[in-house]
Amino acid sequence: MSKILVTGATGQLAKCIKDVFSECADTLSVVYRTSSELDITDVATVFQEFKTTTYDYCINTAAYTHVDGAETNQETARSVNSEGAKHLAAACAKNNVVLIHISTDFVFDGSQSVPYIEEDATHALGVYGATKLEGEKTIRSLCPKHFIIRTSWLYSEYGSNFLKSMLEYGREEESLSIVFDQVGSPTYARDLAQILSLFVVREIDDYGTYHFSNEGVASWYDFAQAIFEINNISVRLLPIRSEAYPLPAQRPHFSVLDKSKIKKVLQIEIPHWRDSLLRASETLALKSKKST
């Protein structure tokens, strides 16, 4: 039975991992650690965790993900996204643990017009992407047995994300202005969790960097429109350019990820983002119904 450490247990991806991995309880033993239980920015705490418990895998979902907040909280973002990844990589290497690390499409600057493959040149536009990129580089240098999974536009029924924000705003506002010149691929966190389970259950050893998102391409405007259509919410959507909605951090205008590598290695088909959005919306509606 494989023993797995999952960091960042309060985040939406970790919660989806818990849902998915619970279906493999007979073959997987999983320990979930919150940031208060395991502070990955503290190297001594990290090494003590691996000294106390023997793990086969570490799935690092802990991250500072506030893209705009990272611009003013650079030290915090770097301590989690870069230094935290470094500590886990060193501990995993020392204890022969496979590290599965979640990264981001924001390591790219969006200057391409074709989907990014894993080997394409990286150039982060903001602090968030830069610190995640630093984490990637450190992992590659310290931990031979690693999987770096870059993903994009993550959402789920848990935590704070675009899906839940749009549902809230859509029920309160008559009209919303959404940018249409940033293009990527929405990703249902539960689908990503399923992919992570395959790496573990199948004991994949083709280590390296992979891209995963749902299939298809969308702008934030397209994504919002689909959310309202699927959830039968009537709201007037106004398409705007990024310049009309200035934010502290610059975003890539195009960050579609090429998933050929992960589809080949895992021999999988990936759901289209609209199909996954429908499943997520149904799950969220059912969850809301149960809580009332």
Task: Give me the active site residues, please.
Answer: 128
- How many Å apart are CA 114 and CA 36, to the nearest integer? 41
How many helices (H) and strands (E) in the chain?
11, 12
DSSP code for 118: T
Closest CA to 211 of 130, 134, 147: 147
7, two tokens: 């960091």
- How many Å apart are CA 54 and CA 192, to the nearest integer? 25
- How many Å apart are CA 178 and CA 164, to the nearest integer? 15
**For residues 121 and 262, is the Cβ–Cβ distance under 8 A?**
no
**For residues 11 and 62, is the Cβ–Cβ distance under 8 A?**
yes
- How many Å apart are CA 67 and CA 153, to the nearest integer? 12
59, two tokens: 């799935």
